[in-house]
Amino acid sequence: MRKIFGFGRKRKGQPPPPGGGDLRQKELGKLHRAAASGDLAQVRQGLRKHGIDERDKAQRTPLHLACANGHVDVVTYLVENKCKLNLFDNDNRSPLMKAVQCQKEKCVAILLEHGADPNLADASGNTALHLAAAAPNASLAEMLLEHNAHIDAQNKEGYTPLILAVLEHHEEMVEFLLKKGADVHARDQTPLMTAASGGELNLIKVLLRYGADLSHKDTKGWTAEDYAIIHGYSR
């Protein structure tokens, strides 16, 4: 099937792929290096000389780096010693966002249990739930929703987590979000219109099953069928 939107390329507002925090060990101080590598003994030693929320050049705290790399014992130690949970790095990412982006489920659970805010937004307006939807990781999305993540939050492009899941062809995530109550008509250009633009028949069927309105028109007066025709997917 022809891909209209070029989904293989990174778009503005689209979360980046998972990664361990773009680490350059030589650029890290001893405390941050210990947190990134999961060396709890060195973290404890480093905290004798450094603040628990000390930043590196990318404005990351030790908690950011421990979360990005899935070091549960270090994350637990930092949290129990009252580190700040909601500080942003240079990309406006909180430690929770890094843990979700890198799919470190145990770290996500620890942060949420200790009160990390699931509704903070990064530089592109993406929340942790956007990152989970784009991954896709339903287990992480479930945890976030259980801790009051906003299911229809919009990033700077106006995309909700549901629309991101449609754009990335994540059928199971689309159905998961719809079951959890995501707005099937969110945004002027609805998820159904987005799916129709890409000729995504399976996604269209899922959206229709959850009440998507074929007759709904956007501000241009276009329906989902119009979008399918415009993008070359007419019968």
For residues 163 and 216, membership in a common domain is answered with yes
**DSSP assignment, residue 150?**
-
Q: What is the pLDDT along the chain (235 residues), one digit of tens a residue?
A: 233 222 233 444 566 555 555 555 667 899 999 999 999 999 999 999 999 999 999 999 999 999 999 999 999 999 999 999 999 999 999 999 999 999 999 999 999 999 999 999 999 999 999 999 999 999 999 999 999 999 999 999 999 999 999 999 999 999 999 999 999 998 888 999 999 999 999 999 999 999 999 999 988 999 999 999 988 876 5
For residues 152 and 211, membership in a common domain is answered with yes
Q: How many structural domains does the chain have? A: 2
* Long-range pairs of 175-181 with CB within 8 A, sequence gap ≥ 24: 175/206, 175/210, 176/138, 176/141, 176/142, 177/133, 177/141, 177/151, 178/206, 178/207, 178/210, 180/141, 180/145, 180/151, 181/151
For residues 71 and 35, is the Cβ–Cβ distance under 8 A?
yes
Evaluate whether residue 7 is within a structural domain.
no
Count CA atoms closer than 13 A to 99's CA, side-chain side. 31
Which structural domain range is residue 138 located in?
127-234
Evaluate whether residue 182 is within a structural domain.
yes
For residues 45 and 109, membership in a common domain is answered with yes
Evaluate whether residue 63 is within a structural domain.
yes
Angle at 206 (CA atoms; ends 203, 208), nearest 5 degrees:
110
CATH, residue 219: 1.25.40.20
**DSSP assignment, residue 214?**
T
pLDDT value at residue 61: 98
User: Dihedral angle at the C-alpha atoms of 182, 183, 188, 193, nearest 10 degrees?
Assistant: 70
| The residue to which tokens 């007419």 are assigned | 234
Phi, psi angle pair for 172, to nearest 5°: -65, -40
For residues 58 and 132, membership in a common domain is answered with no
pLDDT value at residue 25: 60
How far apart CA 25 and CA 82 sit, in angstroms, is 25
Q: What per-residue string of b and e applies to 82-91 under the rule 16 or more CB within 10 Å gives b?
A: ebebebbbeb
Evaluate whether residue 98 is within a structural domain.
yes
For residues 41 and 87, membership in a common domain is answered with yes
For residues 136 and 220, membership in a common domain is answered with yes
Evaluate whether residue 14 is within a structural domain.
no
For residues 82 and 131, membership in a common domain is answered with no
For residues 33 and 94, membership in a common domain is answered with yes
For residues 113 and 131, membership in a common domain is answered with no
Evaluate whether residue 8 is within a structural domain.
no
Q: How does DSSP assign 48-64, residue by residue?
A: TTS-TT---TT---HHH
The pTM of the full predicted model, rounded to 2 decimals, is: 0.86
Evaluate whether residue 196 is within a structural domain.
yes
Count CA atoms closer than 13 A to 59's CA, side-chain side. 9
Evaluate whether residue 6 is within a structural domain.
no
Choose the final residue of a domain: 74, 99, 117. Answer: 117
For residues 112 and 145, membership in a common domain is answered with no
Choose the final residue of a domain: 64, 97, 117. Answer: 117
pLDDT value at residue 66: 98
Choose the final residue of a domain: 90, 117, 144. Answer: 117
Phi, psi angle pair for 95, to nearest 5°: -55, -35
